[in-house]
Amino acid sequence: MTQKQQLLERIRSREAKVGVVGLGYVGLPLAMEFAESGFNVIGVDVSQEKVDRLNRGESYIADVPAEQVKRLVDAGKFCATTRYEDLRAVDTVSICVPTPLRKTKDPDMSYIIEAVDAIAEVCHEGMLVVLESTTYPGTTDELIVPRLLNNGFRVGENVFIAFSPERIDPANPTYGVRNTPKVVGGVTPDCTEIAAALYSTAVDTVVPVSSTTTAEMVKLLENTFRAVNIGLVNEIALICDKLGVDAWEVINAAKTKPFGFMPFYPGPGLGGHCIPIDPLYLSWKLKTLDYTARFIELASEINTGMPLYVVNKVTDALNDDGKAVRGSNIVVLGVAYKRDVDDVRESPALDIISLLEGKGARVSFHDPFVQRIQLENDEVMDGQPYSEALLENADCVVIVTDHSTYDWQHVVDHSRLIVDTRHAIPPRQGKARVVRL
């Protein structure tokens, strides 16, 4: 029996041991779904604190209930470790580590390289290695394959390598790991077949594609589509502002067309681990091929300029009240990058707060999911308790994240001036003067 046949049989019988590297927003839900599917799962993370919490049956990811973690830990289906050495006995490894951009907007591949080099030390015949971290097209072939073949392995024969982009949407009540289709592309057809067999145990629909580069490009297309359309609608908001037209009214009317239009909504800027970053991976890659990805560059320029636009809105609104930004008390409501999550990665709120402080404002924030933030200048800011006094003492309240837990009528009733970047306050709702994006 070939290595491929042996591994396929172990996957089908659930005898295979599964490893997941990186136990964050992507890796932990995936590890839980594999464990629920009957596999024994080992999760690896560099954070000893996270590992200890998981092994106690606790969760730090909102989409993963602590009850689920504890049940799977107690059943012996899941354990966490900081040691890559513990992966020596696994049959498959899914890599779910961060892929940030450097300040120069080129890819920081250090987390992937460190993970793959560590996996190479424990890689054995018959192992499947799948990269899930979003990256530029060509990464799997250029970085992963050479590192895993240094030990004399032959890809597609006795070691199998694939790319399967993560599609996690934190706090999405409808779509999770199980019911979100999974794209899989292997280095060889046999690699694709084995990776598809593995993921089909935990995901309802698997979508095989012809290569790892194709699978990498799929993920970048998905997020570039969103980034460019958000950039477009943000520019529409800027245009409507100059024309004296309500951008939200325009969008709501346009979306009544039953074909040929998909609504996107303006906001204070892009945030999160995907949309602001992933298109720039593609842009960077194309620059190495002497091509400028013009739509991506323009959308990024518009989207990254939105925090300054919000700050200018605050400045103008205060001026209308006869106040300067310098010395004004400004309260930011919501600093997470999107509604009902605790994730502040790339959140536009961080830029808005820094810009307001740079103008001399006294800024505080409240977020029901975030207790503390760190700004780019390394300043650490603690959140304030939500209260009527917090709102009433503010010269301006800036709504940056429209968490569903906020009582917007209460906000209106106890604020003097609101700059609403999310269209959270319906028109003519209360006494506060509301300035919209």
For the chain, domain boundaries = 3-210, 220-303, 305-436
Reported as a pLDDT band with limits 50, 70 and 90, residue 196 is very high
Q: Within 13 A of 171's CA, how many CA atoms are on the CB side?
A: 12
pLDDT above 90: residue 100: no
pLDDT above 90: residue 276: no
Q: What is the mean pLDDT of residues 265-269?
A: 95
pLDDT above 90: residue 151: no
Candidate list 96, 123, 191, 274, residue with the active-site label: 274
Extended beta strands in 123-246, E state: 127-131, 159-163, 182-186, 206-209
Q: What is the mean pLDDT of residues 280-301?
A: 92
pLDDT (0 to 100) of residue 105: 77
Residues 6+ apart with CB under 8 A from 172: none
CB 90: neighbour CB atoms within 10 A?
Answer: 22
Assigned CATH topology for domain 3-210:
Rossmann fold (3.40.50)
Whether 3-210 and 305-436 share one fold: the answer is yes
Question: Which one of 3.40.720.10, 1.10.1040.10, 1.20.120.330, 1.10.4160.10 gives the CATH number of domain 220-303?
Answer: 1.10.1040.10
Reported as a pLDDT band with limits 50, 70 and 90, residue 378 is confident
Distances (CA, A) of 207 to 12, 51, 185, 417: 18, 32, 9, 50
pLDDT (0 to 100) of residue 150: 76
pLDDT (0 to 100) of residue 266: 96
pLDDT over 90 for what percent of the chain?
A: 88
pLDDT above 70: residue 211: yes
Residue 171 one-letter amino acid = A
Q: Within 13 A of 274's CA, how many CA atoms are on the CB side?
A: 21
| 78 vs 74: CA distance, rounded Å | 8
The alpha carbon of 191 is separated from its chain's Cα centroid by a whole number of angstroms, namely 27
Structure tokens at 201: 């145990």
Determine if the pTM surpasses 0.85. yes
CB 396: neighbour CB atoms within 10 A?
Answer: 26
pLDDT above 70: residue 84: yes
Q: What is the mean pLDDT of residues 79-91?
A: 97
pLDDT (0 to 100) of residue 428: 67
Structure tokens at 254: 């346009």
Give catalytic status of residue 274 as yes or no: yes
Q: Tell me which of 299-303, 350-354, 357-361, 427-431 is least confident.
A: 427-431
Q: What is the mean pLDDT of residues 91-114?
A: 90
Q: Tell me which of 52-56, 163-167, 209-213, 277-281 is least confident.
A: 277-281
Assigned CATH topology for domain 305-436:
Rossmann fold (3.40.50)
Residue 88 one-letter amino acid = R
